Amino acid sequence: MSDVVLSLHQLHKRFGALQATNDVSLELHQGEIHALIGPNGAGKSTLIGQIAGNIRPDEGSVFLAGTDITRMSIAQRARLGLGRSFQVSSLAEPLSVMRNVMMGVQALQSHSFRFWKPVARDKELLEPAYEALERMQLSHRAWTPVSELSHGERRQVEVACALALKPRALLLDEPMAGLGPEGSAKLTELLEALKAEVPILLIEHDMEAVFRLADRISVLVSGSVIAQGDSHAIKQDPRVREAYLGNDDA
Amino acid sequence: MTNPTSSGVAEASLAPSADSHFSRKGLVQLTLLGLLLLLPVTAYFLGHIYYVNLASRITIIAMAAVGLNLAIGYGGMVSFGHAAYFGLGGYVAGISAYHAFDFTPFMTWPFSVPGSDNLLVVWLAAAVLCGLLALAIGAISLRTTGVYFIMITLAFAQMIYYFANSWPTYGGEDGLPIYLRNGLPLVDTTNTLSYFLICFAGLVLAMAITSRLMKSRFGAALTMARLNDVRLATAGISPYPIRLIAFVISAVITGLAGALYADLNGFVSPTMLSWHFSGELMVIVILGGVGRLYGPLAGAILFVMMETLLGGITQYWQLFLGLVLLGVVLFAKHGVMGWLAGRERNE
């Protein structure tokens, strides 16, 4: 299929006796939000690590827009268009929001071995970064240090950083983590507006957000994908109900 | 507005709120630099040559610390081996002068390299050799972080120290005298004030380069490598080459200071390569304020003045240095510059 942006092909990863990823294949298509859910210890973090580049799979491959990125570094993947956010915000706190977001623009435009021109007045850097911030409705905070932002705003900055890369695919690791209902609703809205442009692989615990946002859902249990389908199918799937959605009918 | 892409709002928010008015920080910086320039000039015309040389010493040590500050303060690379570059720069000056004085070549195979008593040649050679040495040491050391990085940079510097100690051609542990200070065309470098002014120009240039560098794209990437290298990699920039180039630039600045130091003293010895000196440079950077542009200068002034004034009274002057360092670390985390000029705000 031509509209597959990100695909995982039969990934395996083993830590000693623990099979953390067991034959996982999944695809992210243009224009969709694909949610990955699973109980704690299902191997979500290991899987994200293999997509993002900090963990090498034992077997299998990862493709981004048709390119095999399995052996590439984190930075190479980012330059090819993989944007990601972290479960725990990973930003440079003393720096302004703008300086955090500008990093992605800089990587995209050229190498960083430019030693002379000051960045503070570099419109080539500032304007795309500002645009990414506007998309996340954060432009009014551009010159505020990240350390002065609320938790919810930081989550938005994370996504803006990823957007600055003009990514082909977004990998969002629990973007709603720690957000109240209001912040969660706002971010849900922002992500919904994004998906037409950038497909999103969403790892999320907030089920309300998942069912509202996701076009397709994959359920990971003990390292394997046990079910895949739209939210309706997943809600009905007996294996998922047993493994994940609660044993309350047992 | 004719340009639709830059509306008034965007224009306003595209720049941080600048405080261009003359600030306390600016005043402190100008005072430090002004005193460093004016006091030796005054001393020279009053006939106190000793104080001019003392100022040259402060200036050179400050320049060496400017180099180290680029690695530690701006790059987050705690190098405990910068004496290696300081000493190598010194030995380049010494060895070059030695061969120029003797009319013997430094090497004959595969090509002949003569000595030179021209400072420009000496500085170029010192910069290139220190850069290459730092490239090799950095390429290996930067694969480690934290305490391991500190120890591996120390280990490399100690290797060079013992090598210089045991190589008899250039004096071994006794060191190597420079009988006549290396010269410049049109300038009498043996004149105390001229030489001070050369050192002063070197320091100002090193600080200007650091300042400009840290405002550039490279500086932005280096800052991010220090604060959060995962963020940098996720943004698509590999931290390793950024750090390595910064490490090399840092070493070149310290190495050039070493070359100036050898010519100031007319002498180079393994002491310049020893870990004591690496430690002193670190102390100076911390005293002055880590990652502050004027920190190394403030630190060097404080350090050399204590060494000179207290060292004249008691040989245990380092006890007081220790107390001051303790005070700075405990009560003035941002060093003398943080205390004098206030905290620095990032943008």
Phi and psi at B131, nearest 5°, equal -60, -45
pLDDT-based confidence at residue B44 (cuts at 50, 70, 90): very high
Enumerate residues 5 to 64 of chain B having a beta carbon within 8 A of any beta carbon in chain A.
Answer: 5, 10, 13-17
Contact, A75 vs B238, CB < 8 A? yes
Residue B12 counted as domain residue: no
pLDDT-based confidence at residue B31 (cuts at 50, 70, 90): very high
Over residues B200-208, the mean pLDDT reads: 98
pLDDT-based confidence at residue B2 (cuts at 50, 70, 90): very low
Residue B287 counted as domain residue: no
Closest residue of chain A to B212, computed from CA coordinates: A116
**Which among A75, A51, A73 has a CA at the least distance from the CA of A63?**
A51
Whole-number Å distance between alpha carbons of B163 and B171? 12
Kindly provide the residue ranges of all beta strands, DSSP E only, lying in chain B, ordered along the sequence: 105-107, 113-114, 176-177, 267-268
Amino acid at position A131, single letter:
E
Q: Is the per-residue pLDDT at A209 higher than 90?
A: no
Last residue of a domain, one of A131, A166, A201: A166
Do A112 and B220 lie within an 8 Å CB cutoff?
yes
> What pLDDT sits at residue A67?
93
- The total number of residues shown for chain B amounts to 347
- Residues facing A84 on adjacent strands: A171
**Which among A222, A215, A212 has a CA at the least distance from the CA of A242?**
A222
Q: How far is B107 from chain A (nearest CA, A)?
A: 35
Q: Are residues A221 and A245 in the same domain?
A: yes
The answer to whether residue A4 neighbours chain B at the CB level (below 8 Å) is no
The answer to whether residue B193 neighbours chain A at the CB level (below 8 Å) is no
Counted across chains A and B, CB pairs separated by less than 8 A come out at 131
Q: Are residues A15 and A59 in the same domain?
A: yes
Residue B220 in tokens: 């932005």
Choice between A86 and A2, residue whose per-residue pLDDT is larger = A86
Do A103 and B242 lie within an 8 Å CB cutoff?
no
> What pLDDT sits at residue B130?
98
Neighbours of B179 (CB within 10 A): 9
Range of the domain at B249: 52-275
Q: Identify the residue among B7, B9, B14, B238 best suited for mutation to test binding to A, counting A beta carbons within 10 A and taking the highest.
A: B14
Q: Are residues A77 and A183 in the same domain?
A: yes
Q: Are residues A149 and A185 in the same domain?
A: no
Nearest to A106 among B16, B17, B221 (CB): B221
Over residues A101-130, the mean pLDDT reads: 89
Last residue of a domain, one of A166, A192, A226: A166
Q: How far is B343 from chain A (nearest CA, A)?
A: 12
Most confident of A239-243, B3-7, B95-99: B95-99
Do A165 and B14 lie within an 8 Å CB cutoff?
no
Q: Are residues A183 and A241 in the same domain?
A: yes
Do B245 and A113 lie within an 8 Å CB cutoff?
yes
Side-by-side strand order, sheet with A200-203: A82-85, A169-173, A200-203, A33-37, A216-221, A224-229
> What pLDDT sits at residue A183?
86
Say which residue the tokens 């997943």 belong to: A234
Alpha helices in A10-96 (DSSP H): 44-52, 74-80
Count of structural domains, chain B: 1
Whole-number Å distance between alpha carbons of B231 and A54? 13
Q: What 3-state DSSP class applies to A245?
A: coil
**Which among A149, A136, A126 has a CA at the least distance from the CA of A193?**
A136
Whole-number Å distance between alpha carbons of A11 and A29? 18
| Per-residue model confidence as pLDDT tens digits over A150-200 | 988 999 999 999 999 999 999 999 988 888 888 888 899 999 999 889 999
Over residues A75-82, the mean pLDDT reads: 94
Count of structural domains, chain A: 2
Residue B234 counted as domain residue: yes
The answer to whether residue A244 neighbours chain B at the CB level (below 8 Å) is no
Q: Is the per-residue pLDDT at A246 higher than 80?
A: no
Nearest to B220 among A78, A106, A123 (CB): A106
Judging contacts by C-beta atoms under 8 Å, the chain A residues touching residue B220 are 99, 102-103, 106, 112, 119
Q: Are residues A175 and A62 in the same domain?
A: yes
DSSP labels, A138-165: -GGGTTSBGGGS-HHHHHHHHHHHHHTT
Over residues B34-63, the mean pLDDT reads: 96
Over residues B211-232, the mean pLDDT reads: 95
Last residue of a domain, one of A166, A193, A220: A166
Residue B36 counted as domain residue: no
Enumerate residues 124 to 153 of chain B having a beta carbon within 8 A of any beta carbon in chain A.
Answer: none
- Residues facing A21 on adjacent strands: A13
- CA R_g for chain B: 21
Q: How far is A103 from chain B (nearest CA, A)?
A: 6
Residue B166 counted as domain residue: yes
Q: What percent of chain B has pLDDT over 90?
A: 74
Poorest-pLDDT segment among A52-66, B27-41, B75-89, B306-320? B306-320
Say which residue the tokens 């010194």 belong to: B90
Do B216 and A116 lie within an 8 Å CB cutoff?
yes
Q: What is the mean pLDDT of chain A?
A: 89
Do B227 and A107 lie within an 8 Å CB cutoff?
no
pLDDT-based confidence at residue B236 (cuts at 50, 70, 90): very high
Do A142 and B233 lie within an 8 Å CB cutoff?
no
Contact, A218 vs A227, CB < 8 A? yes
User: Which residues are CB-neighbours of B230 under 8 A, at least 6 positions away?
Assistant: A74, A86, A90
ipTM, 2 decimals? 0.90
User: Which residues are CB-neighbours of A109 under 8 A, at least 6 positions away?
Assistant: A124, A125
Q: How far is CA B167 from the centre of its chain?
A: 26
| Per-residue model confidence as pLDDT tens digits over B101-155 | 888 888 877 888 888 889 999 999 999 999 999 999 999 999 999 999 999 999 9
Judging contacts by C-beta atoms under 8 Å, the chain A residues touching residue B227 are 92-95
- The total number of residues shown for chain A amounts to 250
Poorest-pLDDT segment among A122-126, B108-112, B166-170, B303-307? B108-112
Whole-number Å distance between alpha carbons of B96 and B101? 9
Q: Are residues A162 and A173 in the same domain?
A: no
Range of the domain at A128: 90-166
Helices B119-141, B146-165: crossing angle, 10 deg rounding: 140
Q: Identify the residue among B9, B11, B211, B217 best suited for mutation to test binding to A, counting A beta carbons within 10 A and taking the highest.
A: B217
Q: Are residues A193 and A149 in the same domain?
A: no
End-to-end CA distance of chain A: 41
- Residues facing A24 on adjacent strands: A11
Helices B275-288, B317-331: crossing angle, 10 deg rounding: 40
Over residues B237-265, the mean pLDDT reads: 97
> What pLDDT sits at residue B9?
42
Q: Are residues A155 and A174 in the same domain?
A: no
Q: Is the per-residue pLDDT at B7 higher than 90?
A: no
